[in-house]
């Protein structure tokens, strides 16, 4: 087993353990706190899930960088583990069962191992650089749709109020694409692109832990990740467009109009 395969196996195990805990705790949330503002929420389950993941990873990778959403950040390491212990916390709090556990290992700014577990669906997605993307052991790929009128586009909006611009941009797609959806979890959106259910995902104001694993899943499934200026996407930038690699130019053109 090479180093990345090994990292992948440990990350899968951590995601499964944390995911099962999160699923079990869904309707038994003990505390909901505000972070930066009243719309920025964290529960005791997010915190505990992060502890579980870091403690599992640390058994093997002690001393490495662990960058979890629920801790203070001074800077973002170029190499380390990026962890979102519950991506879709607002869904989780409301009992909307679309949320996931997202773990990525990033080397020199590039995700090389990515795991997303959707515990309610019992779907484990994973990818290792150069080896493709898998869902519960089956290889998956992005869609081949290239006609915007047949495409489903998903979007994220964060609790950042500047995110209101996102709705102006989304309006530009109406009437040009089949439908817009917003499921409330960036990692879920990435999984949907990787398996070919959705054709594009456009995000703004997200953080590296929201997108690092999804970045690799989409890329290894044959998709493309760009920034909104049309250059190669980077997990440290907060404007990203994930697509099936067929419709990026068309979407970017519409967003710029």
Q: Which residues contact Ca ion (rule: CB under 5 A)?
A: 69, 84, 86, 89
Rule CB under 6 A: say whether 220 interacts with ligand 2AM: no
Are the beta carbons of 194 and 245 closer than 8 angstroms? no
Cα 85 to the center of its chain, rounded Å: 11
Which of Ca ion, ligand 2AM, none lies near 206, with the C-beta cut-off 5 to 8 A by kind? ligand 2AM
Which of 43, 50, 156, 248 touches ligand 2AM (CB under 6 A)? 156
Cα separation, 106 vs 100, in Å, equals: 19
Which of Ca ion, ligand 2AM, none lies near 143, with the C-beta cut-off 5 to 8 A by kind? none
Q: What residue number has its CB nearest to ligand 2AM?
A: 158
Rule CB under 6 A: say whether 206 interacts with ligand 2AM: yes
Cα separation, 103 vs 117, in Å, equals: 9
256: helix, strand or coil:
helix
Q: How far is the CB of 120 from ligand 2AM (least distance, A)?
A: 15
Q: What CA–CA distances, in Å, run from 10 to 107, 115, 231?
A: 16, 10, 33
Are the beta carbons of 238 and 215 closer than 8 angstroms? no
Which of 49, 89, 143, 244 touches ligand 2AM (CB under 6 A)? 89
Which of 56, 70, 87, 199 touches ligand 2AM (CB under 6 A)? 87
Task: For 178-230, give the DSSP string.
Answer: SEEE--S-HHHHHHHHHTTS-SEEEEES--HHHHHHHHHHHHHTT-EEEETTS
Rule CB under 6 A: say whether 23 interacts with ligand 2AM: no
- Give Rg (Cα) of the chain: 17
Which of 40, 51, 234, 239 touches ligand 2AM (CB under 6 A)? 40
Rule CB under 6 A: say whether 239 interacts with ligand 2AM: no
Query: Which one, 145 or 207, has the nearer CB to ligand 2AM?
Result: 207
Q: How far is the CB of 188 from Ca ion (least distance, A)?
A: 12
Q: How far is the CB of 84 from Ca ion (least distance, A)?
A: 5
Rule CB under 6 A: say whether 49 interacts with ligand 2AM: no
* The dihedral formed by the CA atoms of 106, 142, 85 and 185, expressed in degrees to the nearest 10: 130
Q: What ranges in 32-137 are assigned the alpha helix state H?
A: 44-61, 89-94
Cα–Cα nearest to 26, from 84, 92, 70: 92
Rule CB under 6 A: say whether 160 interacts with ligand 2AM: yes
Binding site for ligand 2AM (CB under 6 A): 40, 69, 84, 87-89, 156-160, 184-186, 206-207, 210
């Amino acid at each position: 087993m090479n180093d990345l395969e090994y990292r992948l196996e440990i990350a899968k195990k951590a995601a499964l353990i944390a995911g099962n805990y999160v699923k079990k705790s869904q309707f038994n949330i003990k505390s909901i706190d505000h972070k930066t503002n009243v719309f920025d929420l964290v529960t005791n389950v997010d915190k505990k899930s992060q502890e579980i993941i870091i403690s599992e990873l640390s058994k093997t990778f002690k001393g490495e960088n662990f960058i979890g959403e629920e801790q203070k950040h001074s800077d973002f390491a170029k190499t380390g583990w990026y962890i979102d212990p519950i991506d879709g916390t607002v869904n989780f709090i409301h009992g909307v069962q679309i949320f996931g556990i997202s773990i990525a290992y990033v080397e020199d700014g590039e995700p090389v191992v990515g795991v997303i577990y959707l515990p309610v669906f019992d779907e484990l997605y994973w990818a290792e650089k150069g080896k493709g993307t898998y869902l519960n052991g089956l290889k998956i790929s992005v869609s081949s749709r290239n006609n915007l009128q047949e495409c489903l586009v998903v979007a994220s909006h964060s609790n950042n109020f500047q995110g209101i611009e996102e709705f102006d941009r989304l309006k530009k797609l109406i009437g040009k694409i089949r439908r817009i959806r917003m499921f409330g979890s960036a990692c879920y959106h990435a999984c949907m692109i990787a398996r070919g259910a959705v054709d594009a995902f456009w995000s703004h104001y997200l953080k590296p832990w929201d997108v690092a694993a999804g970045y690799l899943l989409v890329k290894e499934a044959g998709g493309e990740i760009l920034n909104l200026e049309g250059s190669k996407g980077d997990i440290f930038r907060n404007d990203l467009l994930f697509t099936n690699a067929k419709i990026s130019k068309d979407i970017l053109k519409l967003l710029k109009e």
